[in-house]
Structure 1
């Protein structure tokens, strides 16, 4: 660890990350790229003049901080003079090129596309395309060019508290607009893609079509496409849920685990080359070339590119065979990736990959030394357990923060799945090649399909052991941060037991406990009234500390609503109670009046209530306002949009506050 802290690129990486975060979250630099370049040039000259003094170190740190700012500012497509949104008018025609085929939703096929042209203006920028499933018989392919009228709309914010923020997720990929269209509104201009990725996509499609000629089941084909070709679009929801519950969802996305196994297999197969002169160099070149061939075949997705860059660096580190070479190669690969794609920093996969690998590199050797089995098979099993434990320790806090669950049987999952994964990946390359050449023997189809089926059944069995799946765990960012501090302090104390490290460990535990008690105190003080957004239904909550009273019109189905689960986890709600929606609700000194299809509101002595309109009541809103003089009128997601627009206009006319959950999201009153 001390040698890593003395590794200069590690310092550069830290300040690069600081610059990226600073610009991304504050957007404080808005003075142009030229000025930033001039500042960096000036710092470079000063650094050169004082290169033999301590000032050089501070100038280097500041320079990489500014480079981080430059990467975010310069990479923001919306600031480009030819960003497509700046040229949109109601009658615009747009030419788009398909960049990526996404997993379909319930009602739409989804694609990412680059906006090449608006009318006659060449443009830049990317959009999300949603095409109705009923209106198109075949998929678009990467590289296809399409023409459509201006149907661009901004991507909405999440409408309920602690809901997954899809707008923020797409913004990190440079997408701020989307298109909803039918087949009749699209015109395919060109299917003859000349791009490299288009050529690879066409080659991958031929491989997929060749596999479909053989007697593989749908789930077997879906797993093969995911693990060997990086295409997860065909994986069923049931299969995805099983892998998630078993703690094995990570194997469905080609990432560090897959590339690491491929690197290990290549190193084993090509080891005889080391006997020859220059054999190690030849082996390294072949390994790196094959890893990048696999990345290209898998579609060069962000996760694959990250993993192959990372493990190419590890292969180079192994070649030099020096102490700390692997750690330094990892640091360099992270530094290089962030220079090329700074928004990778906010990608969950990027964070998990590097934390898992660093956990394995630093922690696994220590765990492995605790016991030395005499027998080969037991030794290999012990290695898998220590690797799984080290990786899980590296990602546990951040996994709890993002996913709020912990699979208790991850030992068993990894002990079973990793050998299967090695077999599937190793044999799969042969299966792909033989199927592409149409010479794949039937017995190999049966054996390979059987291996995948056994894996799926084992995962389904583990997933059914729900008693070992700990879910809906509330874990805040500050808890995540200090839990890593506890893990590091504990590990350092385990390596060397002295008074200084003991103090560090117990101090970290004390800080973590303080955070826990502070959050608990803050939760108990928090009281609020929430009108959630739910299409076609009404859900209202009154939160008092860690208790949530839920009023709804959904019977028992309300307990399965994700919006309530997200709120419960995000706000650390410990207790819930469900009741039917009343007509009146007492909220401290304020009355909440619910008006449904019956349209009843003629109540005596009721003045200045909060009015919640639900299920599209046919009322004269102007008369209601004159009679009740409400403090605010709320329209939830159960109302027709045409009614909501009319009510909004009436409230604007009479200067009454109006809130539509469909437009503004959940209404929250503290």
Structure 2
């Protein structure tokens, strides 16, 4: 089977290429429109000139693929909300009040409930765009309903970039969802307005909330109810941190996130239960319609999250192909769903989208080959062998990307999947029955207790697997260039297996050489010495990295472990293996320049050398004018341990003295060059 024989697969690949070019090269909307129109005209002319020919010329295919690339570029631009004149970021008038609509409920943190909102008006002017809403938590805070419209006098605030190297870039993550600012307020400062418009997402949330309220009246334990909410309602907010960590360590966290696995199992269950319909006239058509409707009902029940919506779309196409009388191919079906979804181009950079489609393509491509390695005769053994080959095929596809994003690999993933997946269909099917009966308030307590016990057993199995620490590989760092070459090696090995020729061996060798070259380059780059002043509120942290070792200089004990913020991200990104801590001195020699540290004691009398940098830490009570006049530093640096009032006063002084001033709280960690 050759993937390049499927036209839709080719078109999807070229669309992805166009989206990447549009995102990284910032090609203007005008030029992308002109290129699209020109290529479309050329394609139409080629078609007219060859209408009498049975086979299209090569030029037609080349122009069609170029047009697909240009459509990807155009799609990136046309979806860029900032290019719209009505976008709220283009409004220059002072803001007195903002009218917005709740679009989605996001996962809260310890201090705020979070929502994605659609901006409707600024003052009395209609605008467009989305933003982030943070509601301060207190004892009276309640969840805001989707589609509810509110008015606030709070203004927009920027979203802070990461302040330390290796930290997750939340600002870039939100920007890929077209969210460029945030509003932070408390619920009592919001005025709710009347509205009659209700969206499908709003209906989904209301159904979800109603079902959840009914489940609370039955004897489910806290952890079990949280897992039921995740499995059947798509709500993971109530899962405790230890339970979620256990599922992650066991390699079973995908079970908690309603996605393609769950929708696929629902499809198989419905296909089996509705198979008697095939005996009646037009039975296949009726069955297909029923399956599609019921799958989308399940998607609505689980909140219509992006992962559920794209999985349901994909399996809708799979359902149609399964029950049609025409020969179809799974690669085409999966590629069509990806092509449709990627008309919303930023989905390409969504981690869930990448992992789900890589898993599906890997299963479709590799599982039929893996299953032929052993043909057990016993049905039960064959059933578990099927599950194992599916799990292995999916892991081959997603493992490099998963390690790149999450920096860990659960070695017992196959065990948790072998134990849980065979019963997941029963758990989902029985769970749907529990939801229906509880919603109409006829669920027997005995049945609820039985289901509670089943979920409890699943949690206990996951807990046992997660406690096998020797099989959990964490703090793994992979650079992006390494990731690309790893996939190059995997693809070349698959190509060799499918086409065992000398040419295939040559491709594998070149891929391996490329991977080795990148690994050597990255190792040499990581071995360079580096000094970093990290940012953390109320603490001073100076780091010196040499080879695979990081030495920390600090007068506090709270950062003594490698897994604490802000060191965890940095140590993983730099592949640091050991960390030591020492008390902070007053003077350091960094790359032939002197660093003087002035702490709360306020002592800075130096006569033997001239400091290039002065670091102010722990709010020293000094006269900065006098310090600058006496020792003439080239740059003043302040970290997160200082009072804000002091920082503002020092910044004004440096501005008057025309001396560079660096604040880690605004600009992030200071990397000494």
Q: What is the TM-score when the length of structure 2 is the normalising length? A: 0.95
The structural deviation recorded for 1:323 is: 6.7
Aligned to 2:4: 5
**1:369-411 CA-partner distances (Å, limit 9, x unpaired):** 1112222222211111111111101101111111111100001
1:530 partnered with 2:529: no
Number of residues of Structure 1 aligned to a counterpart in Structure 2: 667
The structural deviation recorded for 1:609 is: 2.9
Aligned to 2:232: 228
Call closer, same or farther: CA 1:338–1:631 in 2, change over 3 Å.
same
Assess if the C-alpha contact under 8 Å between 2:366 and 2:393 holds in 1: yes
Assess if the C-alpha contact under 8 Å between 1:420 and 1:455 holds in 2: no
SS in 2 for 1:203: helix
Aligned to 1:304: 308
Q: Indicate which of 241, 246, 251 corresponds to 1:242.
A: 246
Q: Partners of 2:478 and 2:194 in 1: how far apart?
A: 49
Aligned to 1:540: 542
Call closer, same or farther: CA 1:136–1:336 in 2, change over 3 Å.
same
Assess if the C-alpha contact under 8 Å between 2:115 and 2:132 holds in 1: yes
Q: Indicate which of 107, 131, 156 corresponds to 2:135.
A: 131
Aligned to 1:333: 337
SS in 2 for 1:31: helix
Q: Partners of 1:497 and 1:38 in 2: how far apart?
A: 43
Q: Partners of 1:285 and 1:628 in 2: how far apart?
A: 81
Q: Partners of 1:325 and 1:90 in 2: how far apart?
A: 57
Assess if the C-alpha contact under 8 Å between 1:98 and 1:142 holds in 2: yes
SS in 2 for 1:532: strand
- Superposition pairs of residues 498-577 of structure 1, within 5 angstroms: 498-524=501-527, 526-555=528-557, 557-559=559-561, 560-577=563-580
Assess if the C-alpha contact under 8 Å between 1:303 and 1:349 holds in 2: yes
Assess if the C-alpha contact under 8 Å between 2:95 and 2:155 holds in 1: no
The structural deviation recorded for 1:305 is: 1.0
1:669 partnered with 2:668: no
Q: Indicate which of 365, 368, 375 corresponds to 2:368.
A: 365
- Superposition pairs of residues 25-36 of structure 1, within 5 angstroms: 25-31=24-30, 35=34
The structural deviation recorded for 1:72 is: 1.0
Assess if the C-alpha contact under 8 Å between 1:273 and 1:279 holds in 2: yes
Aligned to 2:263: 259
1:151 partnered with 2:155: yes
The structural deviation recorded for 1:272 is: 2.7
1:163 partnered with 2:167: yes
Assess if the C-alpha contact under 8 Å between 1:29 and 1:73 holds in 2: yes
- Superposition pairs of residues 435-450 of structure 1, within 5 angstroms: 435-450=438-453
Question: What runs of 5+ residues in structure 2 fail to find an aligned partner?
Answer: 51-55
The structural deviation recorded for 1:577 is: 2.3
1:376 partnered with 2:375: no
Q: Partners of 1:250 and 1:554 in 2: how far apart?
A: 39
Q: Indicate which of 410, 422, 447 corresponds to 1:419.
A: 422
The structural deviation recorded for 1:88 is: 5.6
SS in 2 for 1:114: strand
1:398 partnered with 2:401: yes
- Superposition pairs of residues 405-484 of structure 1, within 5 angstroms: 405-484=408-487
Further displaced range: 430-439 or 550-559: 550-559
1:141 partnered with 2:140: no
Aligned to 2:609: 606
1:590 partnered with 2:593: yes
Assess if the C-alpha contact under 8 Å between 1:88 and 1:150 holds in 2: no
**1:24-45 CA-partner distances (Å, limit 9, x unpaired):** 1121214378656644553454
Q: Partners of 1:344 and 1:444 in 2: how far apart?
A: 41
Q: Partners of 1:325 and 1:541 in 2: how far apart?
A: 55
The structural deviation recorded for 1:545 is: 3.2
Further displaced range: 83-92 or 114-123: 83-92
SS in 2 for 1:365: helix
The structural deviation recorded for 1:268 is: 1.8
Assess if the C-alpha contact under 8 Å between 1:584 and 1:593 holds in 2: yes
Instruction: State the Cα RMSD in Å.
Output: 1.9
The structural deviation recorded for 1:621 is: 0.8
SS in 1 for 2:476: coil
The structural deviation recorded for 1:498 is: 3.4
Q: Partners of 2:423 and 2:195 in 1: how far apart?
A: 38
Call closer, same or farther: CA 1:467–1:192 in 2, change over 3 Å.
farther
Aligned to 2:346: 343
Q: Partners of 1:303 and 1:423 in 2: how far apart?
A: 22
Further displaced range: 411-420 or 431-440: 411-420
The structural deviation recorded for 1:162 is: 1.6
The structural deviation recorded for 1:576 is: 2.7
Aligned to 2:193: 189
Q: Partners of 1:212 and 1:192 in 2: how far apart?
A: 29
Q: Partners of 2:512 and 2:334 in 1: how far apart?
A: 29
Further displaced range: 25-34 or 236-245: 25-34
Aligned to 2:183: 179
The structural deviation recorded for 1:89 is: 4.2
**1:329-364 CA-partner distances (Å, limit 9, x unpaired):** 00111001111x211100010010011111111111
Question: What runs of 5+ residues in structure 1 fail to find an aligned partner?
Answer: none
Q: What is the TM-score when the length of structure 1 is the normalising length? A: 0.96
SS in 1 for 2:217: coil
The structural deviation recorded for 1:616 is: 1.4
**1:543-580 CA-partner distances (Å, limit 9, x unpaired):** 22333221123326431313212112212223332212
Aligned to 1:63: 67
Assess if the C-alpha contact under 8 Å between 2:559 and 2:565 holds in 1: no
Assess if the C-alpha contact under 8 Å between 2:314 and 2:337 holds in 1: yes
Call closer, same or farther: CA 1:43–1:563 in 2, change over 3 Å.
farther
